Amino acid sequence: MGPRPTLSFEFYPPKLQEGIPSVFKSIDKLKEFSPDFVSVTYGAGGSTQSLSEQISIRIKEQTDLVVMAHLTCVSQTKTDVHNVLTRLADAGIQNIIALRGDPPLGQNEFIANKDGFSHANELIDHIRTNFEFGIAAACYPEGHSESTNLELDLEYTKRKVDAGAQFLVTQLFFDNAYFINFLNRARQIGINVPILAGVLPILRTEQIRRFTAFCGATIPDSLGQQLNNLSHDAAAVRELGIEQSTNQVMDLMEKGIDGIHFYALNRSYSISRILSNIGWVKSANISR
């Protein structure tokens, strides 16, 4: 096995202010595993965008965790985006996961604000030119859902790296073959930055079916069959998720990958179990 991969956890802003304490409860539990960073997603609009900023800033103020704030271009002018970045920088946030974002609910297609950014590479370019943030971007082992051409999708991913993304985080996937294939193709076209594997421990059957239908990730047949068989047994589905992610992460670690980024969904139980299953040393202080 190679050096320890990086470990990171992704949280999302609740719909209402009242939901914030439960996010922090989960962060408190997971921080025992000494993640390299935690990230907070950026909502599609309105209050969740401001809660996203608030949570990133509160994590920064209340813990010693490295925070990466996600930021999208959805429904925002360049000036709006610039203002968010300025507020985050003023609050001491040092890292951004720069995204285009999905079309808002009810829209099938992403339509850029006429004074906004059309693609993540433009946002990354803006950040690199105007701020000092560390920058990451998204990538898609099975191809982005809007893309019909895997090669072109990869070229666009390279554009994000060339614009200044210092590492990439993948969309969720269950079959490691997609990740390894993507990694090899990325290296072949000169994408040399670390690529962190996005891992989502399944919590509920209908939720994972919804997520995968939306983002285009494949549920392998055998896993799909197991989910069908267990669909009414919530505890058993969660156990299956723990087992599946444990095996997935162990295999990825054996392959010496750069990092594991858990989609935590504001929960800590499954991830704690997975990390203890693989013998993750809680306060490892390993230099890489």
- CA within 13 Å, CB half, 171: 20
Site for ligand FAD contains 243 (CB under 6 A): no
Q: How many residues lie near ligand FAD (CB under 6 A)?
A: 24
CB of 285 to ligand FAD, least distance (A): 26
Read off the tokens for 259. Answer: 């990092």
Distance of alpha carbon 93 from alpha carbon 218, whole angstroms: 34
Considering the candidates 10, 53, 122, 142, report the single residue annotated as catalytic: 10
Select the span of 127-135, 152-160, 249-257, 273-281 touching ligand FAD (CB under 6 A): 152-160
Site for ligand FAD contains 211 (CB under 6 A): no
59 residue type, one letter: I
Select the span of 16-24, 113-121, 185-193, 268-276 touching ligand FAD (CB under 6 A): 113-121
Distance of alpha carbon 282 from alpha carbon 288, whole angstroms: 16
Task: Work out which of 58, 78, 119, 185 binds ligand FAD, going by CB under 6 A.
Answer: 119
Read off the tokens for 140. Answer: 């898609």
Task: Work out which of 80, 146, 175, 239 binds ligand FAD, going by CB under 6 A.
Answer: 146
Select the span of 13-21, 84-92, 139-147, 201-209 touching ligand FAD (CB under 6 A): 139-147
Distance of alpha carbon 73 from alpha carbon 167, whole angstroms: 19
Site for ligand FAD contains 175 (CB under 6 A): no
Site for ligand FAD contains 72 (CB under 6 A): yes
DSSP-assigned letter for residue 33: G
Task: Work out which of 120, 183, 186, 249 binds ligand FAD, going by CB under 6 A.
Answer: 120
SS3 state at 121: helix
CB of 288 to ligand FAD, least distance (A): 21
Instruction: Name residues contacting ligand FAD, limited to 181-200 (CB under 6 A).
Output: 198
Site for ligand FAD contains 44 (CB under 6 A): yes
CA separation, residue 220 to residues 11, 217, 286 (Å): 25, 9, 34
**Complex with ligand FAD: residue 131 or 156, whichever CB lies closer:** 156
Any idea how long the chain is?
288
Buried b (16+ CB within 10 A) or exposed e, 66-92: bbbbbbbbbbbeeeebeebbeebbebe
Read off the tokens for 244. Answer: 């599946």
Q: Annotated catalytic, 155?
A: no
Strand partners, 8: 37, 261
Task: Tell me which residues are annotated as active site.
Answer: 10
Binding-site ranges for ligand FAD (CB under 6 A):
41-42, 44, 70, 72, 97, 99-102, 119-121, 138, 144, 146-147, 153, 156, 159-160, 169, 171, 198
